[in-house]
Amino acid sequence: MSHAPEDPAEDPTNTDDARQRWLSAVAADPRTRPQHCAAAEVLAHEPQVPDEHVPAAEELVQMGLAWRNELEGVLSYTPIDPAGKPA
């Protein structure tokens, strides 16, 4: 017997689907360069990125593909799906 989560947002399948849609949107954007795809791969799994990915993550924010968050001096990013919602 399978037990589905009551909240669809907590369903790992939904999370994986949203992640893949976002990564596809980043790759399909004509402004995207390889460093953006590399930063997106990190952002798809972790909100904080290593220093080497920060410039590309900032460009993803400028391109409208991610949100920049800063809480108590800690920088993080949130992917935005093509519909403008957190991915």
Q: How far is CA 61 from the centre of its chain?
A: 10
Domain coordinates in residue numbering, the chain: 9-79
pLDDT of residue 18: 85
The pTM score is 0.78
The series of mean pLDDT values per 10 residues for the chain, 87 residues long, is 48 75 94 97 93 96 94 91 66
State the Cα–Cα distance between residues 57 and 44, nearest whole angstrom. Answer: 11
pLDDT of residue 62: 95
Amino acid making up residue 60: L
